[in-house]
Structure 1
Amino acid sequence: MVPLAQHHAYLSRPWVAWAVLVVMAAWTVVTTYAYARPAWRTSRLLVADLAVAFGCMFATGLAAAPHYLTQAPPLSSYWFAGAALSASVIWGRRGAATVALAYGGADITLRLLMDANVTAATVRGVALLLLACLAVGYMARVAEQAEERFARAVTMEARIREREQLARSIHDSVLQVLALVRRRGDEIGGQAAELGRMAGEQEVRLRSLLTDGLDAAASVPSGPGTEAAPGAPADLREALRRLESVRVSVSAPATPVLLPGDTAAELAAAASAALDNVERHCPPGTRAWVLLEDEGHAVTVTVRDDGPGIPPGRLERARDEGRLGVAQSVVGRIRDLGGTTELFSEPGEGTEIEMSVPRD
Structure 2
Amino acid sequence: MGIEGPFWRAIAVFRVASLAYAALLVLRAGGYARPAVAWAVVGVMAVWTVVMLVPPPSARRGPLLAADLVVTVACLLAAPYAQSRDDMLAGAIPITATWAAGPVLAYGVARGRRAGAVAAAVMSAADLWLRSGNGVDLASIPVNGAVLMFMAGVVVGHVARLAREAEERMRRAARIEAAGRERERLARGIHDSVLQVLALVQRRGAEIGGEAAELGRLAGEQEAALRALVQAPPVAEEPDPAPPPGLHAPVWQRRRLAHTSPGSTGTGAAESDVDLRELLRPYGTSGVTVSAPATPLRLPAGSAREVAAAVGAALDNVARHCPEGTRAWILAEEDDGAVVVTVRDDGPGIPEGRLEQAAREGRMGVARSIRGRVADLGGTVAITSSRTGTEIELTVPVGADKASADEASGRRS
Q: TM-score, normalised to structure 2's length?
A: 0.48
Partner residue in 1 for 2:63: 44
SS for the counterpart of 1:74 is: coil
- 1:274-332 CA-to-partner distances (Å, cap 9, x unmatched) read xxxxxxxxxxxxxxxxxxxxxxxxxxxxxxxxxxxxxxxxxxxxxxxxxxxxxxxxxxx
- 1:141-186 CA-to-partner distances (Å, cap 9, x unmatched) read 2222222222223323322222222112111111011111111222
2:160 to 140, 148, 157: 140
Q: Distance in 1 between matches of 2:163 and 2:44?
A: 32
Q: Distance in 2 between matches of 1:118 and 1:2?
A: 28
Q: Distance in 2 between matches of 1:162 and 1:10?
A: 68
Q: Distance in 1 between matches of 2:80 and 2:122?
A: 18
Contact 2:104 2:116 in 1 (8 A): yes
Partner residue in 2 for 1:29: 50
- 1:182-206 CA-to-partner distances (Å, cap 9, x unmatched) read 1122223333322222211111111
Contact 2:117 2:153 in 1 (8 A): yes
SS for the counterpart of 1:67 is: helix
Structure ranking higher on relative contact order (CA contacts 8 Å, 6+ apart): 2
Partner residue in 2 for 1:56: 75
Partner residue in 2 for 1:209: 229
Q: Distance in 2 between matches of 1:204 and 1:140?
A: 50
Alignment pair present for 1:94 and 2:132: no
Q: Distance in 1 between matches of 2:138 and 2:25?
A: 19
Q: Could you tell me how far 1:52 is from its partner in structure 2?
A: 0.9
Q: Distance in 1 between matches of 2:30 and 2:138?
A: 21
Contact 2:107 2:115 in 1 (8 A): yes
Q: What is the percent sequence identity of the aligned residues?
A: 46
Q: Could you tell me how far 1:39 is from its partner in structure 2?
A: 5.5
Contact 1:17 1:75 in 2 (8 A): yes
SS for the counterpart of 2:69 is: helix
Q: Distance in 2 between matches of 1:22 and 1:188?
A: 94
SS for the counterpart of 1:42 is: helix
Alignment pair present for 1:188 and 2:201: no
Partner residue in 1 for 2:26: 4
Q: Distance in 2 between matches of 1:166 and 1:125?
A: 61
1:69 to 78, 84, 88: 88
SS for the counterpart of 2:171 is: helix
- 1:230-277 CA-to-partner distances (Å, cap 9, x unmatched) read xxxxxxxxxxx35x3458xxxxxxxxxxxxxxxxxxxxxxxxxxxxxx
| Residues 216-255 of structure 1 aligned to structure 2 (within 5 Å) | 241-242=233-234, 244-246=235-237
Contact 2:32 2:82 in 1 (8 A): no
Q: Which AA in structure 2 matches 1:30?
A: V
Q: Could you tell me how far 1:62 is from its partner in structure 2?
A: 2.5
- 1:71-130 CA-to-partner distances (Å, cap 9, x unmatched) read 312221310112211111001100001111111111111123222233655311111111
The 3 A distance-change label for structure 1 pair 161 and 120 is: farther
Q: Distance in 2 between matches of 1:202 and 1:120?
A: 85
Q: Distance in 1 between matches of 2:59 and 2:35?
A: 35
CA RMSD of aligned residues (A): 2.5
Contact 2:202 2:215 in 1 (8 A): yes
Q: Could you tell me how far 1:56 is from its partner in structure 2?
A: 0.3
Q: Distance in 1 between matches of 2:42 and 2:206?
A: 92
Partner residue in 2 for 1:18: 39
Partner residue in 1 for 2:181: 161
Aligned pair count? 216
The 3 A distance-change label for structure 1 pair 187 and 115 is: same
The 3 A distance-change label for structure 1 pair 165 and 181 is: same
Q: Distance in 1 between matches of 2:115 and 2:99?
A: 18
Q: Distance in 2 between matches of 1:115 and 1:15?
A: 24
The 3 A distance-change label for structure 1 pair 105 and 96 is: same
Contact 1:7 1:68 in 2 (8 A): no
Contact 1:66 1:116 in 2 (8 A): no
Q: Could you tell me how far 1:40 is from its partner in structure 2?
A: 7.3
Contact 2:124 2:146 in 1 (8 A): yes
